Structure 1
Amino acid sequence: MTSTAFIKKEAAYLGVPWEDAYGYAQAIKVGNIIRVSGQLSHDSNGKLVAPAALNEQGKPADFSTMEAQMRTTYANAARLLAQFGASLDNVVEETLFVLDVDAAFAVAAKVRGEAYDVARPQVASNLIGVTRLAFPEQLIEITFTAVLPEI
């Protein structure tokens, strides 16, 4: 016997080109849980903020823009969460995917402290080194899970 259960989902978007090109929602709310897709450092037009300079092989030449990319990524996540009446205060878990773990670790405490407005955010956090992200100039991508109070 096959049964299909439907759940009520609410979606949030930022209006960037890759939402249609890839075909996905930036965030989905089911009940009081919000799952935020991998966020990166783009402006409202989808242009990458603080892109890394690339070497001859098309790979990041240095990671000096990690802090700026991380800061913008958190701001984009906050904009998405706000569409559901939430904020970074509702985040219970985050996963940072980075091209250089050392560069991310060097700025993470400062940027995360600013984003969450507390030195030690009460957020389960994962920092994972990867070999590639969606765009060559991109150094970081972060996913989030947030929980709203039950009604």
Structure 2
Amino acid sequence: MTSEISRINPDQLHPTPGCHHITVVEAGRTAFLAGQRPLDRCGALVGPGDLYAQIDQVAANAVLALAAVGAEPSRVVRSVIYVVIDDVTDLGAAWRRLTASVIGPAFTTASTLHGVARLGFPGQLIEVDLTAALPG
């Protein structure tokens, strides 16, 4: 069984910053990735307080997690991004860094970006949840 993925931006809705309003998966298997955190293989937080270092680690972890189920970033059909912010410009910076990263194609789908007060680890600034439609 293969899955067909369609991404749609209805003309009647506002333009998006690179994502799509709607993602449709016709059939197939789905993988739900746990929140990808900026932790190294030993579980240590990478770049405490450094948003860009943490984004790079989250992107690298997400690519590894997707590969473990035979998927790649283009198979992501839903993403939710949490960024600890003091200034709303950090959200835009996080979005631009993510979309330029190795996981960038994951964010052309139905995506939501949230500014939050805190995350699970002291010094953690970002976490990304992904859902992917698995190939064949």
Do they fold alike, i.e. is TM over 0.5? yes
Aligned residue number for residue 80 of structure 1: 65
Aligned residue number for residue 116 of structure 2: 130
Q: Is the 8 A contact 1:67 1:104 kept in 2?
A: no
Q: In structure 2, what is the Cα distance between the partners aligned to 1:111 and 1:37? A: 17
Normalized per residue, the structure richer in strand is 2
Aligned residue number for residue 147 of structure 1: 133
Q: In structure 1, what is the Cα distance between the partners aligned to 2:127 and 2:66? A: 16
Task: Give % identity.
Answer: 36
Question: 1:117/1:40 Cα in 2 relative to 1: closer, same or farther (>3 Å)?
Answer: closer
Q: In structure 1, what is the Cα distance between the partners aligned to 2:118 and 2:104? A: 30
Q: Deviations for 1:88-116, whole angstroms, at most 9, x for unmatched residues?
A: 12111111111114213124223322224
SS of residue in 2 equivalent to 1:79: helix
Structure-2-length-normalised TM-score: 0.70
SS of residue in 2 equivalent to 1:47: coil
Aligned residue number for residue 41 of structure 1: 38
Query: Could you tell me which of 52, 66, 81 is aligned with 1:67?
Result: 52
Structure-1-length-normalised TM-score: 0.63
Aligned residue number for residue 114 of structure 1: 101
Q: In structure 1, what is the Cα distance between the partners aligned to 2:130 and 2:31? A: 8
Q: In structure 2, what is the Cα distance between the partners aligned to 1:38 and 1:117? A: 16
Give unpaired runs (5+ residues) of structure 2. 1-27
Q: Is the 8 A contact 2:59 2:101 kept in 1?
A: no
Equivalent AA in structure 1 for residue 99 of structure 2 = R
Aligned residue number for residue 48 of structure 2: 51
What is the aligned residue count?
A: 107
Moved beyond 4 Å, runs of 4+: none
- Looking at both structures, which has the greater relative contact order when contacts are Cα pairs under 8 Å and sequence separation is at least 6? 2
Q: Is the 8 A contact 2:99 2:107 kept in 1?
A: yes
Q: Is the 8 A contact 2:79 2:107 kept in 1?
A: no
